[in-house]
């Protein structure tokens, strides 16, 4: 009987900790509001917008800030700029991730670009000169990643922002969570399932909705229940209750036998 009780108690412990195991997910970076939408950005991600005949690209440097080269900056190449109320804080902005770079390379690219803080803006020479002392926006991003062994586009001429974001090394992070999902209206990182929006969210709220959709460990779960701010398997409450009752009954039987 003692062995049975120990087994039941172990089962109860496993069931109690199961929601925690499912909610152990990889961090997806910073939740950043851009143009009224929420994007989940990691250091080294790319910010791009197009306006008329002009377009511009910069690099997310973490803590809701960016680094870029722009003639309106002071200095022209400037780091630690807040995204809020900046040129990128518009609905026209799109966000991209360099999918072939691990986080170490992304961090190094940001550090490289920030190392050019204080330098001048120049559109010439158009062919990227990564050893130069003056920079245009896409040249700065291009050279920052080239220093990490990642090359965008064709370096035989001017590097345009469109060349970078259309390169096979780059993918969009501007994937909107669909209507009806827990995080409708926000954007999630690539590599998840179509509705992989809860993975990057904060706590869910019981009753809003009562069923939760979530992507834990890269696996999509639909119809889970929200319990105490976490998405858990739908039957978890009933199973925990049943295991608890069985364990209690086993304990009572064990005590009676000992007496």
In this structure, the strands spanning 65-69 and 134-135 are unpaired
Is pTM beyond 0.85? Reply is: no
Least confident of 134-138, 154-158, 197-201, 246-250: 197-201
Least confident of 35-39, 57-61, 240-244: 240-244
Beta bridge partners of 31: 40
pLDDT band for 207, please (50, 70, 90 cuts).
Answer: very low
pLDDT band for 155, please (50, 70, 90 cuts).
Answer: confident
Q: What is the pLDDT of residue 157?
A: 83
- CA dihedral of 252, 253, 255, 256, whole degrees rounded to 10: 120
State how far the alpha carbon of 20 is from the alpha carbons of 24, 28, 35, 123, 216, in Å.
Answer: 6, 18, 34, 52, 11
Cis link prior to 185 (omega < 30° from 0)?
no
Does the pLDDT value for residue 236 go beyond 80? no
Cα 203 from Cα 201, distance rounded (Å): 7
Query: Where do the domains of the chain lie?
Result: 1-25+199-259, 30-172
Q: What average pLDDT score do residues 59-81 get?
A: 96
pLDDT band for 54, please (50, 70, 90 cuts).
Answer: confident
Q: What average pLDDT score do residues 51-68 get?
A: 90
Neighbouring C-beta atoms of residue 223, cutoff 10 Å: 9
Architecture of the structural domain at 30-172: Alpha-Beta Complex (3.90)
Q: How long a stretch of residues is the chain?
A: 259
Q: What average pLDDT score do residues 100-110 get?
A: 96
């Amino acid at each position: 009987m003692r062995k049975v009780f120990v087994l039941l108690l172990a089962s109860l412990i496993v069931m109690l900790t199961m929601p925690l195991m499912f909610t152990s997910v990889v961090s997806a970076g910073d939740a950043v509001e851009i143009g009224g939408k929420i994007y989940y950005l990691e250091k080294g991600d790319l910010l791009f917008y197009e306006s008329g005949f002009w377009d511009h690209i910069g690099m997310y440097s973490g803590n809701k800030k960016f680094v870029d080269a722009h003639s309106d900056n002071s200095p022209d190449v400037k780091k630690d700029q807040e995204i809020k109320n900046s040129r990128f804080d518009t609905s026209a902005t799109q966000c991209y991730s360099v999918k072939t770079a691990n986080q170490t390379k992304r961090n190094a690219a940001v550090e490289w670009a920030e190392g050019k803080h204080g330098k001048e803006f120049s559109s010439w020479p158009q062919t990227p000169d990564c050893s130069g002392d003056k920079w245009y926006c896409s040249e700065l991003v291009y050279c920052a990643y080239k220093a990490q062994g990642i090359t965008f586009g064709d370096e035989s001429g001017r590097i345009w922002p469109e060349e970078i974001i259309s390169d096979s090394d780059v993918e969009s992070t501007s994937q909107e969570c669909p209507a009806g999902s827990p995080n409708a209206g926000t954007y999630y990182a690539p590599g998840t399932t179509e509705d992989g929006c809860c993975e990057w969210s904060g706590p869910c709220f019981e009753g809003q909705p009562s069923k939760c959709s979530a992507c834990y460990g890269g696996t999509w779960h639909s119809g889970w229940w929200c319990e105490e701010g976490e998405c858990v398997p739908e039957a978890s409450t009933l199973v925990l209750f049943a295991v608890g009752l069985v364990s209690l009954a086993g304990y009572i039987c064990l005590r009676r036998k000992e007496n």
